[in-house]
Amino acid sequence: MYEVEVKVRADHETIREQLEASDAEQVNRVEQTDIYYNAPHKDFAETDEALRLRRESRYEDDEVVDEVTVITYKGPLVDESSKTRREYETGVDDGETMDAICEAVGFEPTATVEKERERFELDGYTVSLDAVSGLGEFVEVEVEVESGVDAAREGAFDVLRKLDVDPDDQIRTSYLGMLLGAPEE
């Protein structure tokens, strides 16, 4: 399974108009707070690994209907072109306790990424309007495919064009990377 993902800076007000005009369907709205940790015995920024604790609140009509916490490990890229990584993720009952365990065994929180994310469905793609604290507004177009990564990426570009966004403005840096000061590339 490959995840194709294209991210561009974009003003949400404009995109919303295009989403409505395109009959996109709203899927949900969530708030995510991600804590990223660094390991005590190596630098995850150098080894291209990540340990993340994500607390997500799901909203319906401005009310929180569900809160979940998941812990995720992402391994280094094993294939550059398809961006394939080893990934393990499981839910945990209590985010604060899990954070305390991570810190107690030596992992240091290095950054917190807070965002509001509205998900829509359009032409088989997931369109996310992300408002990220400290960084601003973005649109992300995403799909999972078994094969045909290039065609899927072209399809994501088409979705962006439909939303009046130029795919050439694509940003490859993660939100974490941007918050840690990496240039947008």
**Catalytic sites, residue numbers:** 36
Q: Going residue by residue from 133 to 152, which x/- string records binding to a copy of itself, judged by CB under 8 A? A: --------------------
Q: Going residue by residue from 28 to 57, which x/- string records binding to a copy of itself, judged by CB under 8 A? A: -----------xxxx------x-x------
User: 142-147: which pairs have CB atoms within 8 A and are 24 or more residues apart?
Assistant: 142/3, 142/4, 142/5, 142/6, 143/3, 143/4, 144/1, 144/2, 144/3, 144/4, 145/1, 145/2, 145/4, 146/1, 146/2, 147/2
* Cα→Cα distances 174→83, 95, 131, Å: 13, 23, 14
The CA distance from 91 to 57, in Å, is 13
Q: Is the Cβ of residue 73 or residue 157 nearer to a copy of itself in the bound state?
A: 73
Minimum Å distance from CB 97 to a copy of itself?
4
Q: Is the Cβ of residue 61 or residue 88 nearer to a copy of itself in the bound state?
A: 88
Interface with a copy of itself: number of residues (CB under 8 A): 26
The CA distance from 99 to 154, in Å, is 39
Q: Identify the residue among 3, 56, 73, 142 touching a copy of itself (CB under 8 A).
A: 73
SS3 184: coil
Stretch that binds a copy of itself, among 14-22, 91-99, 109-117, 172-180 (CB under 8 A): 91-99
Q: What backbone torsions phi and psi does residue 120 show, to the nearest 5 degrees?
A: -125, 160
Minimum Å distance from CB 89 to a copy of itself?
7
Binding residues for a copy of itself (CB under 8 A): 39-42, 49, 51, 71-73, 75, 86, 88-94, 97-98, 100-101, 104-107
